Amino acid sequence: MRSVRARAAAGATVVVAVALIGAGIAVLLVLRANLTDQAGLQAEVAAREVAGQLALDVPYGRLDLPDEEEHPVQVTDEDGRLVAASKDLQAVSGTGTDRVTSNASPAPGSSGSSGGGSDDDGSGDRHGGDDNRDDDAHAPARGEVSTDDPDFTNGTATVDGDTADYRFAAVSATTSTGVTLTVHAGAPLATEQKAVGSVRAAMLIGLPVMLLVVAAVTWLVTRRALRPVEGIRAEMAAITASEDLSRRVPEPGSRDEIARLARTTNETLTALEASVGRQRRFVADASHELRSPIASLRTQLEVGAAHPELLDLRGAVADTVRLQALAADLLLLARLDAGERPGNTPVDLGALVHEEVSQRTGDRIPVVMSVPESGHLEVSGSRGQLARVIGNLLDNAERHAESSVAVSVFRDHGSVVVAVTDDGAGVPESERERVFERFVRLDDARSRDEGGAGLGLPIARDVAHRHGGTLRATRAAEGGARFALRLPGRESSPSGD
């Protein structure tokens, strides 16, 4: 099943089916147990009635037995021999014996006695009714009925040709002469079987109907809940087909997960649109910047080919160097945009600044350094990339300074700071973030040869961020620009500027 709705409907149906089947089985078991207990109670009552008569020494032939169809009865002695049974009982199972006829003596007490006293007509004592002796002292001894819980069994009985299931209760009784008899009385299980069968049939009919209802409701509810998702999917497919990143997916008015998904999707589209826009501008600006040195170099080579005496080798070399530097900058930006991470090599920024300044012998303005001899100025990262940052900052300062360029390295609250200052016109406060955008130059009046391509400061900030640091532009005390590179020291975590 590839549809979420189908899987949800099927899953809900399976869960409900398992729950209903389990509940149905439990209901049937409880119902059967209760009805069986009721039948057992009825059988026990019938057995105790007969046992009470036996305890009173009522002869077997004169026992008042209950209706055979409702409560078939068997009476057995201590040896398991049948001594009495219901009149129309034809077969029985599940009791003490399967016999239904008896050859026992007619009385449970002494042989040949009626067990019920004298055959006198009851008109009174033959010595006269005035003799008021204690009846309890001269009455015959009586038996007793067991008060223990009866034993219950299930079996069958055939009465008048009809065979049915019964619940039998076995109750013991002791006669006045000490004879122990066991009464097996049954109660029909037809009511229990009928009730359980009716409930089972109702469940077998109702369960499929209920499962169909659950599946249909789950399908409809899921379909309604996932309708916004289909709208999001369709709009994303349209955006992919049209490549129009300005479009947005519909956001439902609810505050559920689907609404949050739509908002996140739109935020992703916004970020993607901005990223694609930056990439397009980058490609356009790079093409524009590359066109100038390539065109200049081509012109000089064509002139040199036609008129060798007019070839400006110095200018051609300068254009080639500029083209090479621009290509190197573009390659570094591409690696940074691809997520290239710096290494974890220890770099001494003080020594690195000394090395970079010592190599700048052709600068028009000498660089003044302020680097402590031993200041624990180590950071972690790429030595080559950090050297590129320092070189770009010094190039920018040389380009804008009037008469002085200074660089200082110091430690500040667990961070190492490299500050490059000049005494030029400085950076207006409104432009201090814009100067870090690619191909942005504030000195538009200058020639491209003097002003550069506008990639030095963006590269420097990208490298700083990838080293866990910051690069900010502020106003120097001399009135020019101050660029502060702050990197976390090797012994501590980064801190704010």
CA angle 15, 16, 18 (to 5 degrees): 65
* Burial 438-459, CB ≥16 within 10 A → b, else e: beebeeeeeeeeeebbbbbbbb
245-340: CATH topology is: Helix Hairpins (1.10.287)
Count how many residues are written for the chain.
Answer: 497
Q: What is the CA radius of gyration of the chain?
A: 55
Non-local CB neighbours of 54 within 8 Å, separated by 6+ positions:
63, 75, 108, 143, 173, 175, 181, 183
**Regions of the chain where pLDDT drops below 50:** 110-140, 444-451, 492-497
All structural domains of the chain with their residue ranges: 1-106+139-241, 245-340, 341-488
Q: Which residue has the tokens 């980064």?
A: 494
Q: What tokens were used for 10?
A: 């099927």
Q: Which residue has the tokens 């001494």?
A: 348
341-488: CATH topology is: Heat Shock Protein 90 (3.30.565)
Q: Which contiguous run of DSSP H or E holds residue 200?
A: helix 190-242
pLDDT at residue 320 in the model: 84
pLDDT at residue 38 in the model: 92
Give whole-number Cα distances, 195 to 29, 157, 397, in Å.
12, 20, 100
pTM: 0.51
Rounded Cα distance between 105 and 487, Å, is: 117
**Residue 183 in contact with residue 46, Cβ under 8 Å?**
no
Note the pLDDT tens digit of each residue in 375-403: 678 999 999 899 999 999 999 999 889 88
CA angle 279, 284, 290 (to 5 degrees): 120
